[in-house]
Amino acid sequence: QMFGSQKSTSFGSGGRFDGAPVTKWLLILNIAIFFIDVVGAGTESWGRITPHALFSYGEHYYNAGVFLDTLSSFQLWRLIGFQFLHADVGHLLCNMLGIFMFGALVERVLGSLRFTIYYLLCGVGGALSFALLASIGWLDPGVLVGASAGLFGVLVALIIIAPNIMVRPMLMPDPISMKAFGMIILGVGVLTILMVGPNAGGEAGHIGGALVGFLLMKNPKVLSFLSGAFLPKPSRQKPVRGYVPKIRPRTTVRMNSSEVDRILDKVSEHGLHSLTDAERATLKNISEKD
């Protein structure tokens, strides 16, 4: 796996996680659950583990066939639980680096509730993609764990939100655009699946997460509808005139406009403190929670 790094490590005076509490908690939960699993599996697991101590289902809990069985047995928590477990320290660090670098910016644009739903659905898409390809015999059934399916959804969102933002991928001497970086890693994933190369199952999860992310970003009303289910309903005792749902698509024209793209590039380059009052207002309009 290969992730880029942004030029700026600060997103403003409030820090990287200012306005992005879900991204912070994703990091905390993934790291905490990993250490709990290591303790449960024994000290020999520090190098490489099959994490399952929390759920007591054993290694096959994350097998491709078992994933398909969840649909008939309604054990749907399996489609969420695997996203917070990692095979070893390197696997954990790689995924957490990606979430750390890119998650906060996407969360500010989508809003925390929509971002949470988006991230988890991308993870579910990765699990189902892995299970489907294994069930038809294209891939060997195996164990799937990790946050990378959701992370690839985050990368796709950032490609759509700010395709020209510059990142410096590891082992590459010069920075490249987010769009170019995304096309490279997605292309490698597709090629690995077609050739059934190393970690083809993991790449199937990556591509599945990226595909779900693309569909959700191109159809923002779906996210608005899903997030609306978690919002309090208006009181029936009070008359409501011309009620407009608070959650509105944020991935519409404003999100794709050159002005928003320019502001996001400026944030990446110099941090939020470099924005003018007008630019801050524009960013606030697309990122603040209603």
Residue range 92-131, pLDDT digits in tens: 999 999 999 899 999 999 999 999 999 999 999 998 888 8
pLDDT at position 130, please?
A: 86
What was the pLDDT predicted at 99?
94
Nearest to 151 by CA among 221, 67, 83, 250: 83
Query: Which pLDDT belongs to residue 121?
Result: 95
Positions of the chain with pLDDT under 50: 1-13, 43-62, 64, 247-256, 289-290
**CB-based contact 186:204 (threshold 8 Å):** no
Calpha distance 67→31 (Å, rounded): 24
